[in-house]
Amino acid sequence: MSCSLRETLVLPARLDAPADWFGALPFSRRIAEIGFGNGEFLFHRSGLEPQVLHLGIEVSLRCIDKAARRVYLAGRRNVRLILGDGRFLLREAFPEAYFEGIFMHFPCPWPKTRHARRRVTTPDFIETLASALAEGGFFELLTDEEAYALAAQKAMGGHPSFRLESFEVDPVRPVRTKYERKWMEMGKPIFRLHVVKTAPARVAKISGGGSGPMHIVLPGARLDAERLRAASSLEGGTDDARWVVCNSYSGVDGSGLVQVVTCDEGFEQRFYIRLVPREDDCLVKVDDASYPFNTPAVHAAIGGLAALLEKRS
C-alpha cells in the first residue's frame, strides 16, 4: 500500500503534541537516525523491518526533500522524517524510553574548542540518549575520526546507564552511506561504537513540553517607527536562555517584523516576531511563517519586545 508525501513528513516537530505525537500509528517499536543525510541507511533499514517505525531527524531541508521522495515512491508507511536538531528533539519532543535504537552516522566531530558542546561525547547529550532509549535499547555511532570514537567509547562506556557492547574498526555493513564510501575510498578507517542501555535514566526538559502561548496582547500599547528602530538593539535573558534581535522591518500594513536569535543551553533558533498594532491594543506574536520551539529564551524574547511597546513616551 502506498503512502502520501504528507504522511512521510512531520515538519516541524511539535512539543505541544500528545505523548505519542504520531497518533494511532500501529508501531510499538521505534528506531531513530539522527542526521540521516541522503537517507540511504534509513531507507535500507526501514525496508528490512516494516513492523518498526523509523524516524529520521535532519537539519537539512534538502536532505529531507530527497529522502521524502525516495520513501514516497517506494510506498514506505513506516518512515517519518523530521526537520530539526536531533540533540534538542530527543530530549524535548519525545517521552522517556521511547526508542528501541538510535543511530548516528558520521556526525561532525566539532574539533574546535568553542564547539565542544555540540559533540556526542558531552554529558548532556549522553544523558539525553540514556533517557530517550528504552532499557535494552542501543545507540550506534559511526565515525572516521579515531579520537572522536575513543572519546565516545570512554564517555559512554563509563556511564551508569550504558554497557559498551562493541568497538570495531572497519565493520562489515550491508549498506554504506555516502560519507562512508568517501572516507573508505580515501583509505580512512571507519570506527563503530555500539552501546546498550542497562539502567533507567531521566533528563530534565527545558521547554516545559511546549506549554504557554507564544504571544502577548498589550492593551493601550502602540507601535511607531522610533520603537521599531529601538527593537533592533534589544537583547536579554540569562546565561542559559539568551536572545538578541538582529533586524527589524516595517510592514506595509503598519506592523513590524523583528528577526530574533535565541539560545537555550546551546540550542540556537532563528525566527521572526511580528508586532501588530490594533485599535485598542498591540499584539506581539511569533510570525506565522516561523516555527520556533517553545523554549524559555523564545518566551523571554517575546516578553522583551512587549516591554518595549509598553513603555510610555
Q: Which pTM was predicted? A: 0.79
Same domain for 219 and 137, yes or no, is no
219-222's contacts with Cβ under 8 Å and 24+ in sequence apart are 219/280, 219/281, 220/280, 220/281, 221/281, 221/282, 221/306, 221/309, 221/310, 222/277, 222/282, 222/309
Same domain for 236 and 160, yes or no, is no
Same domain for 11 and 98, yes or no, is yes
Identify the domain boundary among 197, 221, 249. 197
- What's residue 242's pLDDT? 93
Same domain for 67 and 125, yes or no, is yes
- What's residue 8's pLDDT? 65
Identify the domain boundary among 148, 164, 197. 197
- What's residue 210's pLDDT? 45
Please write down the HEC assignment for all residues of 175-209: CCCHHHHHHHHCCCCCEEEEEEECCCCCCCCCCHH
Same domain for 23 and 111, yes or no, is yes
- What's residue 72's pLDDT? 86
CA distance 22 to 19: 9
Could you tell me if residue 277 is inside a domain? Answer: yes
- What's residue 176's pLDDT? 81
| DSSP, res 266 | T
Same domain for 56 and 193, yes or no, is yes
Same domain for 49 and 183, yes or no, is yes
Domain that holds residue 193: 5-197
Output the known binding site: 33, 58, 85, 112, 144, 177-180
Could you tell me if residue 165 is inside a domain? Answer: yes
Could you tell me if residue 174 is inside a domain? Answer: yes
Output the known binding site for substrate: 112, 144, 177-180
Same domain for 141 and 73, yes or no, is yes
Could you tell me if residue 63 is inside a domain? Answer: yes
Could you tell me if residue 203 is inside a domain? Answer: no
Domain count, the chain: 2
Identify the domain boundary among 168, 197, 226. 197
Question: Sheet holding 9-10: strands in order across?
Answer: 9-10, 79-83, 53-58, 30-34, 99-105, 133-143, 191-197, 162-169
Same domain for 223 and 138, yes or no, is no
Output the known binding site for S-adenosyl-L-methionine: 33, 58, 85
Could you tell me if residue 189 is inside a domain? Answer: yes
Same domain for 46 and 164, yes or no, is yes
- What's residue 190's pLDDT? 93
Same domain for 146 and 120, yes or no, is yes
Q: pLDDT tens per residue, the chain (313 residues)?
A: 455 555 666 655 555 444 444 544 568 899 999 999 889 999 999 999 999 999 999 988 899 989 998 988 898 889 999 888 888 889 888 889 999 999 999 887 776 766 667 677 888 899 999 999 999 999 999 999 999 999 999 999 899 999 999 999 999 888 887 778 888 888 889 999 999 999 999 988 876 544 567 889 999 888 888 889 889 989 998 888 899 999 999 988 889 999 999 988 778 889 999 999 998 999 999 998 887 888 889 999 999 999 988 875 4
CATH code of the domain in which 139 resides: 3.40.50.150
- What's residue 275's pLDDT? 94
Could you tell me if residue 202 is inside a domain? Answer: no
Same domain for 215 and 162, yes or no, is no
